[in-house]
């Protein structure tokens, strides 16, 4: 079975630009979450989606937005990029009803560099 897939793997953008990151969850998983991991820190929660609805939002500015599609894939959009947005962006999926037992499975991430 394919795991969580993310694209692109690497991305270089200029300050002020906009970026879209994509994620496909594990087959059968309806919950998708997005995390940002800055170098030297643990991942920080950005969004959670379930059945195409936002179920949680972390402490990130409105420049960050996301959506989930009927096939449960998801996109994360970041507008007006800042240097501080440079990070590894992780997508995670879960069957949700067994989250407590099994946690999230992370994709390989998208490394975003803002110059």
Partner 1 sequence: QKEVEQNSGPLSVPEGAIASLNCTYSDRGSQSFFWYRQYSGKSPELIMSIYSNGDKEDGRFTAQLNKASQYVSLLIRDSQPSDSATYLCAGGSRMTTDSWGKLQFGAGTQVVVTP
Instruction: Write b or e for each residue in 38-64: b if 16 or more Cβ atoms lie within 10 A of its Cβ, otherwise e.
Output: eeeeebeebbbbbeeeeeeeeebeeeb
Residue 43 touches partner 1, criterion: CB under 8 A = yes
CB closer to partner 1, 21 vs 90: 90
Among 21, 66, 109, 112, binds partner 1 (CB under 8 A): 109
**Euclidean distance between CA atoms 25 and 74, whole angstroms:** 8
Of 59 and 71, the one with the shorter C-beta distance to partner 1 is 59
Nearer to partner 1, 10 or 14 (CB): 10
Give the one residue of 5, 7, 44, 73 binding partner 1; rule: CB under 8 A.
44
Three-state secondary-structure class, residue 97 = coil
User: Can you read off the two tokens belonging to residue 86?
Assistant: 């440079």
Least Å from the CB of residue 19 to partner 1: 18
x-or-dash string of contact with partner 1, 61-90, rule CB under 8 A = ---------------------------x-x
DSSP label at residue 83: G
- Joined together, the tokens standing for residue 110 give 């998208």
């Amino acid at each position: 079975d394919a795991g969580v897939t993310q694209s692109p793997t690497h991305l270089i953008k200029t300050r002020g630009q906009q970026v879209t990151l994509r994620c496909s969850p594990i087959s059968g998983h309806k919950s998708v979450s997005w995390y940002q991991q800055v170098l030297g820190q643990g991942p920080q929660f950005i969004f959670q989606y379930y059945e195409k609805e936002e179920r949680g939002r972390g402490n990130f500015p409105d420049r960050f937005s996301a959506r989930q599609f009927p096939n449960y894939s998801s996109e994360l959009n970041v507008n007006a990029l800042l240097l501080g947005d440079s990070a590894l962006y992780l997508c995670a999926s879960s069957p949700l009803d067994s989250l407590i037992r099994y946690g999230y499975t992370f994709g390989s991430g998208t490394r975003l560099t803002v110059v």
